[in-house]
Amino acid sequence: MKQKVRWGILGVARINARVIPAIYRARNAEVYAIASRSQHKAEQAARDWSIARAYGSYEALLEDPDVDAVYIPLPNALHGMWTMRAAEQGKHVLCEKPLAKDAAEAQQMVEVCKRHGVLLMDGFFWPHHPRTARLRHLLDRGAIGRVQLVVGAFTFQLPLDPANIRLQPGLAGGCVMDIGCYPIYGARWVFGGEPQRVYAVAQWYTPHQSEPVPQLTKLAHLLQECVSCVRGLDDAALEQGLEAIRQRVQALAHSAPGAQESIDLGMQGMLEFEAGRVALFDCSFTMPFRGKLEIVGSEGVIEVPEMWLPPARATLIVHREGRQPEEIVVEGEDQIVHMIERFSQAVLEEGEAPVPPEQAVQTMRVLDAVRAAARQGQPVVLQRA
């Protein structure tokens, strides 16, 4: 049996700076190839990270028979397409969260991966940290009685740059998709079930009309360079033609679908579960950093500071009536390394994904519902899947 999974990386996203070192530290994985839409960027990343192969297209990496699995850190709107193309090439897929742009696409991704016999998992780190296993044990043995309330938050301050993919409606951006998915998934995980009804309010951001869609802006700049190249030539018609094309593309940049849609900078909401149990979630790009989870039971409370991005000394605190708080410490663990090792082991053993992809579909169903509730200004009832 192979000892290590050979990983390919689709894209040169910033999060690679956290994931690639984790793959190198994993006992059963190695970074083998990286791809970008630019050969130069791919080669630069390969040099920076000592990666054997660099490809100037995602397709070329997927066609490499030596690549076993791929990590997809692309914008949310591209997750579905490249996951399914990877599956068609027989590659196992670890896809950044959230899994897709909506639940319907997520379900299609699951079905395509099953049809081609490859594993699929979304890239939430926190479920793989040993502290999470300790927390699950406490809840399952009734350490705080019957869980009645979950309160989760993930907030940080993000500069309002329309070029940031998090702020582009056309790329399925937005705060709840980027970080609100953490407390929403966390609430589902704690309760072990699905909400029946959701409420949400959001704070909206609309790019200024003078801010074009970044991809089209790049194309406009490229055409401008073409115009510059032909200026001074005798063929005035050629120059006029190129100039007309440049103006048309610039106009498209302002009128393209999604260019002027609003996007959520923050969202707060409530998820109603069966038997009156409730989860409150809070996410924002305009508030100071917070990343907590609080679980309230009939006999106590568990606080989990920095739940989603734990430090080297990860803690959780158990509060019970009439007793001193109990601090539980889990030290020296890297949740990304654990995620890579668990997924790689499943690939090597031809087993199941550590977290079934159906869980990601269910999270997407809730994300769809809270986005609809915030847009409509009224609660949304979730139908049973």
User: Does 375 have pLDDT greater than 80?
Assistant: yes
Residue range 176-221, pLDDT digits in tens: 999 999 999 999 999 999 999 999 999 999 865 334 344 444 444 4
Q: So what's the pLDDT on residue 183?
A: 98
**What are the structural domain ranges in the chain?**
5-122, 126-206+261-381, 214-255
User: Does 257 have pLDDT greater than 60?
Assistant: no
Which residue carries 């500071």 as its tokens?
305
Of 38-42, 142-146, 214-218, 359-363, where does mean pLDDT reach its minimum?
214-218
Whole-number Å distance between alpha carbons of 232 and 148: 74
DSSP string, 146-203: SEEEEEEEEEEE----TTSGGG-GGGT--HIIIIIHHHHHHHHHHHTS--SEEEEEEE
Does the domain made of 5-122 have the CATH classification 3.40.50.720?
yes
Residue range 24-35, pLDDT digits in tens: 999 999 999 999
CATH number of 126-206+261-381: 3.30.360.10
Structure-token pair, residue 243: 């100039």
Structure-token pair, residue 137: 């044990």
Whole-number Å distance between alpha carbons of 172 and 209: 19
Q: So what's the pLDDT on residue 251?
A: 44
Residue range 300-318, pLDDT digits in tens: 999 999 999 999 999 999 9
- Among residues of the chain, what percentage have pLDDT more than 90? 83
User: Does 267 have pLDDT greater than 50?
Assistant: yes
Read off the pLDDT of each residue in 253-282 and give the average, rounded to a whole number.
Answer: 81
User: Does 247 have pLDDT greater than 70?
Assistant: no
